[in-house]
Structure formats: structure tokens, C-alpha cells
Chain A
Amino acid sequence: MSLDFTEVAVSNVARHYGRRKALSQVSFACSAGEVVGLLGPNGAGKSTLLSILATLVEPSAGEVTYGGYRAAAAGAAVRARVGLLGHDLYLYPELSARENLAFFARLYGLPDVDARVQRGLEYANLVDRADDQVLGFSRGMRQRLALERALVHGPRLLLLDEPFTGLDQSSAAALVGRLRGLQDDGCLIIAATHDLDVAEGLLTRVLFLRQGRIVSAEEGGLGLRTRYQLAMRAS
């Protein structure tokens, strides 16, 4: 079960649903310590790419390797090292914050469940609401809890789909701080986001996606917003 990797390589990955093409010929590689941003308009294929990286969706062509292992071959062992914060938050609204975290910690077969859950609640700043149903939480609180849910097993690869949605400025700043900490711990983070201003300082690298392709991946010195506009116009 124990498998680890420090880099993820995507080569020539394509995915289509019938005639609708979600991704085509996407290739890139990244390694631990990087925070890669996936930027692009709605329908650019960001979520599909994250689902493929999370091994939830199989690519129609091409492959993803996790430090040399293919998801199809390594299966559960790769899944044990991946955390995904999806667009839907993957939380049971009827359960409390604590129960949600504890359920997933146990599902992953982790030791010291209580300690982990407590730590997660502290990071999410939800200790005093820990035993309330998620049903009553605001979007921001859910978002913070969902992030800790995705991190409960200490994944190597963290995939984030619009992590800043519904966060106010201080929560967003806290999230940036949390992600920086993970980055320093050797986590490989790939985040799809619209929030250019917040992402600006955090991302070490940016991939611009448009209509399922990577249109630009250079690391120019210009500001993120300018580069985004250039990339979208160029294609």
C-alpha cells in the first residue's frame, strides 16, 4: 500500500465525451514543492484535468504517471496519496464537521483518527463548531472543512478546484498560508482557479487552458492578469 512519488507527469492526455472534447494533447510535468495554477475560462477543461489527475476519470488517450506508476496499475496505492477538493464539496451535510473528518480518516484506514481530526478542525478554524451539522455552515466554513477533508490523509498530490470560492478576504489569506505550509512540507499542489489576484503570489507556475488545450505555460515576468489576457488572446 505504501507508495510515494515526488513528480507527476501528464503526457498527451485527451478526454472526450461523445463529440464534446474536454481535453486534447495536454502534457506537462511537475514535482513536489510546486504550486501549479490551471487558469482558463469556464469549459476550458480544468475540472476534467483535475478528475483525471485524481484517477476518477480515465483519459481517452495518453497517460498520467505518478513518479513512474500508472494509476491503472497502482490503483488504490496512488489514490491513497492524492487529495481532491472538488467543485462539489464531498461533505455529508447531515453529519457534523467532526464526523465528516472522522469518517473519511477511517475510510482511508489512518491511525490516530481523533488527533488528526482535531488538527484538521483547528486548521479549518472550526473547533467551536466541530459538533454542529455541516447543514448550517456558511459556504466559506464548508470550503475550509472540505479542504481539511481532502488533506486528512496527508496527500502528496493535492488537487484543488476553485479553492477560493466563497471565501472572504481573511479566509482566503488563511488558505494561502495553509497552502504555503503544505508546499514547504513537500506537497505538490495543482489548483484550478479564477481568482487571479489571490493566486498571484502563491503559484509557482501557471498553465493557461483554453478549449481543452494548454495555450501557454511560460513563466514571464509580467503580472498574472496581463499574462492571462495575452494567453487567451493569442490562441
Chain B
Amino acid sequence: MRKYTHILLGAALLVFALAPVLIHRAPYESTMGLVQKIFYFHLPGALMMLFIALFAGVMSGIFLFTKKPWADHYALAAAEQVVLFGAMTLVTGPLWARKAWGVWWEWDARLTSSLLLWMIFIAYLLLRRFGGPGSDKLGAGMALFALANVPFIYVSVNYWRTLHPKTTVVPNLVPPMAGPMWWAFAGFVLMSLVLFALRVQQEEQRARVEALYLAANEG
């Protein structure tokens, strides 16, 4: 583990340790009650998922056209984090829905889009796991298609929903709430960077082990 990873990890832990305090101090939202606090977890998670998914798509594109192994390491690490943050988003989403709409699952445009994006990246990981040799390139093609697909998913799901309009409870973000929300977002960013550092390092080492294994066979 390199030095900057330690620093990042320390910072992430510090941010996470302070987050509950800030969230506790944020104003109490009357319609949603305590459940509104999920929001500080849910929205940053969803944002992370989207950004990392875009990053995975870009890295896959770089890998496909330049064949640089590092791009593939980043793409794979990113895909795993998309699934991780996606899981957070999709667990907290229904909790919110239960309170706001009275049902566990609501075909809300953003939640549905998140579910689809999450599915695409699980499919990507399945391909990487079970596709056999050459699945790195196939995965890269898949991730590139996922990247191009994001706007289509959003637009189609959105219009699919708004044809049957429904009132939604979207909290307006008053500044005292925005502060803790971005604080939590920063915590997630730091955590994501730590995970990236570790996972990419691990992939690099795996590649080195492969290379050494091949070299050892040389003799």
C-alpha cells in the first residue's frame, strides 16, 4: 500500500466520522421525518454511481483503441464500484419510496434508470468473470455501449413515466441540508479513491504475477 493511499484512507475515515454529526445537526424535515436523513446517503451514492459509470466507459474506450493495460485496470475497478454504489442507491431508494409514496418500489425515472445502469454493470462483471480469454476487450465494448446508453435510458424511462404523472416528494435543498450532503459526497469520493488505488494496484500486481509466471516458464 502506497503512502498516498494511507493519507486518502485517513481523510476518508475522518470525513465519515464527522458525517453523522453534521447530518444530525441538519434541519429536521417535517414531511419525511427521520427517513429524510437517508438522503445524505442516497444522493451522493447515486451521483458517485453515475460519475464512475461514465469514467468506466471512457477508460474502456481508451483500452479498446490503445490497448493500454492500465486503462483496463481502471475500467474494471470502476465497474465494480458502479455496482457497489449502485447497491447503496438501490437499497436506500426503496426506503425513501416507502415513506414518500407508501410503496417499497416506485417506477420513478431516476430510480429505474439507476437500476438499469446497475444491471448493465453487473452484466459487465459477469462477462469479465465467465467470458474466458479475451473478455477484457469484449467488456470494453460493452462498457462503451453502456456509456452511450445512459442518455437513452434516462430519456426513455423519464418519458415512459411522465406519461402517467404522479406527484413526487422531492425535498428542496435548503443550504443547511446541502452542506452535510456535499460533505457526505466528499466522503464517498475519498472512499472511492482509496478503493481505486487498492484495486488498480491489485490488478497491476496480478498482471505482474502473470508476467513473472510466464517468465519463470521461459527457463
Contacts and interface: CB of A to CB of B under 8 A. Distances in A.
Interface in A9-23: 16-19, 21
Contacts of B133: 17-18
Nearest to A20: B133
A21 B213 CA distance: 10
A24 interface: yes
A19 B210 contact: yes
Contacts of B214: 16, 19, 21, 24
Q: DSSP class of B's interface residues: helix, strand, loop or mixed?
A: helix
B210 A18 contact: yes
A24 B215 CA distance: 10
B217 A21 contact: yes
Q: DSSP class of A's interface residues: helix, strand, loop or mixed?
A: strand
Contacts of B217: 21
A57 to B, nearest CB: 10
Nearest to B218: A24
A24 B217 CA distance: 10
B6 to A, nearest CB: 32
With most chain A CB atoms within 10 A of its CB, the pick from B133, B210, B213, B217 is B217
A17 B217 CA distance: 14
A25 to B, nearest CB: 8
A21 B210 CA distance: 11
Interface in B88-147: 133
A18 B217 CA distance: 13
Contacts of A21: 214, 217
A17 B213 CA distance: 12
A156 to B, nearest CB: 29
B137 to A, nearest CB: 11
Nearest to B134: A17
A153 B133 CA distance: 32
B129 to A, nearest CB: 14
A21 B212 CA distance: 12
Contacts of A16: 214
B187 to A, nearest CB: 38
A24 B218 CA distance: 8
Nearest to A14: B214
A19 B217 CA distance: 10
A9 B21 CA distance: 70
B66 to A, nearest CB: 13
A165 to B, nearest CB: 26
Contacts of B218: 24
Contacts of A17: 133
Contacts of B213: 19
Contacts of A18: 133, 210
A17 B137 CA distance: 13
A18 B135 CA distance: 11
A150 to B, nearest CB: 25
B127 to A, nearest CB: 16
Given A24-B214, A24-B218, 9 more contacts: A16-B214, A17-B133, A18-B133, A18-B210, A19-B210, A19-B213, A19-B214, A21-B214, A21-B217
8 contacts: A16-B214, A17-B133, A18-B210, A19-B210, A19-B213, A21-B217, A24-B214, A24-B218
Interface of A: 16-19, 21, 24
User: Which 5 A-B pairs rank lowest in CB-CB distance, beginning with the nearest?
Assistant: A17-B133, A19-B213, A16-B214, A18-B133, A21-B214
